[in-house]
């Protein structure tokens, strides 16, 4: 049955409080001005207001109504809505079903954007959006729960990755910053050197379309502060200034390096020269090298030695590659690798599992919503 969003859901458009009532220390109600702190499912909050205007309830769907229009999250707490977002909740039905119904129809909503510079949609645009609607609430629940379980599995994988990364970072700090296993100081026999003594910068160029089997990893999809690659772009989007990387290469976003994009490649692929593609001379130093590059001090050094003011680029020679480090002996690096590499392998593997889950969710979403298949016919 065709229904409009306004018929099936309550819609609360945001209204920003005056900035004098904003704070960052947790006073008052969490506040979202737009989608800046959206996650995959839930937002995080770094701004609060003591004078809330329009509000959402815990469990409400939060949608961005200003460019980019249509991003969706679910608020875990009561919160204040700024003018860049709205809240939606079912009048009589399943909230998870509404979430995926909106996700499926968001492209239609985007086509209603107005504004020449920053697109936006209003209450009328949202309320009049016509969708195929399942009237049976039990069927809504089954569809919503099935899709939600897939997204929760993806979230669980990401949480495990985050925990593993924190463990790896803690071990690196213990071994190579505080030297706790070695009595609290740099042991005899460790060498003073530079990052380029253990890592080489790869410059293996490739032309657009030369190998269509390789996934494309541009700098803008490299996640910040996580080793886990979360997505690739289609090969045909790779057009110029291209270089290849191999599985286990360390990729660092060199343009605006302060965004702290450092990942371990889960497979062979293509990126651009806006990234460093690095490989250890000795595989025993892989874990040490990755964690060394990931240190805040390393990113700060790369930023300090960057070239250009408007669009700063980190450089390797005369920059990050020449950063001074203390290099442990091979046997120490080997032992660290033995402990930490399985953690990194799990993080790499999760990309492929999450990718398969995302593809499953996205492929069956329209079929579940239009009744083409039944939930009971699908196995995860």
**What CA–CA distances, in Å, run from 19 to 23, 25, 75, 85, 165?**
9, 14, 22, 17, 37
As a whole number, mean pLDDT of residues 105-124 equals 79
pLDDT-derived band at 38, boundaries 50, 70, 90:
very high
Residue 74, domain member (yes or no): yes
Q: Is residue 142 in a domain?
A: no
Give yes or no for residue 139 having a pLDDT over 50: yes
pLDDT band with cut points at 50, 70 and 90 for residue 75: very high
Q: How confident is the prediction for the chain on average, in pLDDT?
A: 95
Q: Please indicate, yes or no, whether residues 120 and 251 belong to a single structural domain of this protein.
A: no
pLDDT on residue 118: 63
Is 306 found in the same domain as 167? yes
Tell me the mean pLDDT in the region 332-338: 98
Does residue 279 share a domain with residue 164?
yes
Per-residue pLDDT tens digits for 146-167: 999 999 999 999 999 999 999 9
Pairing of strands 250-253, 262-264: antiparallel
Number of domains in the chain: 2
pLDDT at 216 over 70: yes
* Residue 57 to residue 89: CA distance in whole angstroms: 9
Tell me, yes or no, whether 272 and 221 share the same domain: yes
Q: Which domain holds residue 196?
A: 156-349
Please report where in the chains the tokens 């899709």 appear, as a residue: 147
Are residue 46 and residue 164 in the same domain, yes or no? no
> Do residues 40 and 180 both lie within one domain?
no
Contact, 110 vs 104, CB < 8 A? no
Judgement on whether residues 116 and 170 belong to the same structural domain of the protein: no
161 and 62 co-located in one domain: no
CATH of residue 173:
3.90.220.20
* Residue 363 falls inside a structural domain: no
Whole-prediction pTM: 0.84
Residue 41 neighbours by CB distance under 10 Å: 16
Is residue 138 domain-resident? Answer: no
Q: Which residues contact 291 (CB under 8 A, 6 or more apart)?
A: 168, 169, 172, 176, 340
CA 89 to CA 9: how far, in whole Å? 5
In angstroms, rounded to a whole number, what is the distance separating the alpha carbons of residues 34 and 76? 16
Give the per-residue pLDDT at 376. Answer: 78
Shared domain for 85 and 12, answered yes or no, is yes
Same domain, 126 and 238: no
352 CA to centre of own chain: 15
Helix (H) or strand (E) holding 138: helix 137-176
**3-class DSSP state for residue 361?**
helix
User: What local confidence, expressed as pLDDT, does residue 375 receive?
Assistant: 84
Q: Is the pLDDT of residue 230 over 90?
A: no
Helix, strand, coil fractions of the chain, as percent rounded to 5: 40, 20, 40
Q: Considering the domain boundaries, does residue 378 fall inside one?
A: no
Are 162 and 204 found together in one domain?
Answer: yes
Asked if residue 362 belongs to a domain, the reply is: no
Q: What angle do CA 89, 95, 96 make, to 5 degrees?
A: 140
Domain end position, chosen among 133, 165, 183: 133
pLDDT at 379: 72
Residue 113 has pLDDT above 80, yes or no: no
Higher pLDDT residue, 190 or 370? 190
Residues 6+ apart with CB under 8 A from 265: 217, 229, 245, 246, 247, 248, 249, 250, 251
Q: What's the pLDDT score for residue 116?
A: 47
Tokens of 307: 């070239």
pLDDT score of 114: 66
Distance of alpha carbon 153 from alpha carbon 159, whole angstroms: 10
* Distance of alpha carbon 292 from alpha carbon 227, whole angstroms: 12
Q: Are 294 and 251 in contact (CB under 8 A)?
A: no
Average pLDDT, stretch 16-21?
Answer: 95
Q: What's the rounded mean pLDDT across residues 309-335? A: 96
Tell whether 220 is covered by a domain.
yes
82 part of a folded domain: yes
| pLDDT greater than 90 at residue 70 | yes
Confidence label for 377 from pLDDT (cuts 50, 70 and 90) = confident
Q: Tell me what percent of the residues of the chain surpass a pLDDT of 70.
A: 98
Whether residue 81 sits in one domain with residue 160: no
């Amino acid at each position: 049955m065709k229904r409009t969003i306004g018929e099936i859901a309550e819609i609360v458009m945001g209204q920003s409080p005056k900035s004098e009532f904003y704070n960052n220390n947790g006073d008052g109600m969490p506040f979202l001005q737009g989608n800046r702190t959206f996650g995959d499912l839930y937002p995080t909050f770094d701004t609060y207001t003591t004078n809330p205007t329009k509000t959402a309830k815990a469990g409400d769907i939060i949608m961005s109504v200003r460019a980019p229009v249509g991003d969706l999250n679910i608020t875990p707490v009561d919160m204040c809505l700024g003018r860049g977002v709205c809240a939606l909740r079912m009048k009589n039905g399943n909230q998870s079903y509404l979430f995926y119904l909106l996700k499926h129809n968001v492209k239609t909503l985007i086509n209603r954007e107005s504004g020449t510079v920053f697109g936006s949609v209003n209450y009328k645009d949202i309320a009049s959006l016509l969708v195929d609607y399942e009237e049976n609430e039990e069927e809504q629940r089954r569809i919503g729960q099935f899709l939600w379980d897939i997204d929760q599995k993806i979230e669980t994988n990401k949480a495990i990755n985050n925990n593993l990364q924190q463990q790896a970072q803690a071990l690196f700090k213990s071994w190579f910053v505080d030297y706790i296993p070695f009595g609290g100081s740099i042991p005899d026999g460790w060498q003073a050197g530079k990052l380029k003594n253990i890592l080489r910068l790869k410059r293996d160029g490739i032309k657009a379309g030369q190998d269509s089997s390789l996934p494309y990893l541009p700098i803008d999809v490299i996640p910040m502060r996580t080793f886990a690659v979360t997505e690739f772009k289609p090969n045909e989007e790779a057009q110029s200034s291209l270089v290849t990387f191999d599985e286990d290469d360390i990729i660092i976003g060199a343009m605006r390096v302060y965004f702290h994009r450092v990942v371990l490649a889960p497979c062979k692929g293509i990126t651009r020269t806006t990234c460093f593609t690095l490989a250890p001379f000795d595989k025993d130093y892989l874990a040490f090298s990755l964690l060394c590059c990931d240190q805040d001090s390393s990113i700060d050094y790369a930023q300090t030695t960057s070239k250009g003011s408007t669009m700063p680029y980190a450089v390797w020679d005369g920059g990050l590659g020449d950063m001074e480090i203390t290099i442990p002996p091979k046997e120490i690096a080997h032992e660290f690798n033995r402990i930490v590499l399985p953690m990194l392998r799990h993080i790499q593997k999760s990309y492929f599992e999450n990718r398969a889950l995302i593809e499953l969710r996205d492929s069956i979403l329209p079929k579940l919503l239009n009744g083409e298949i039944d939930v009971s016919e699908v196995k995860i």
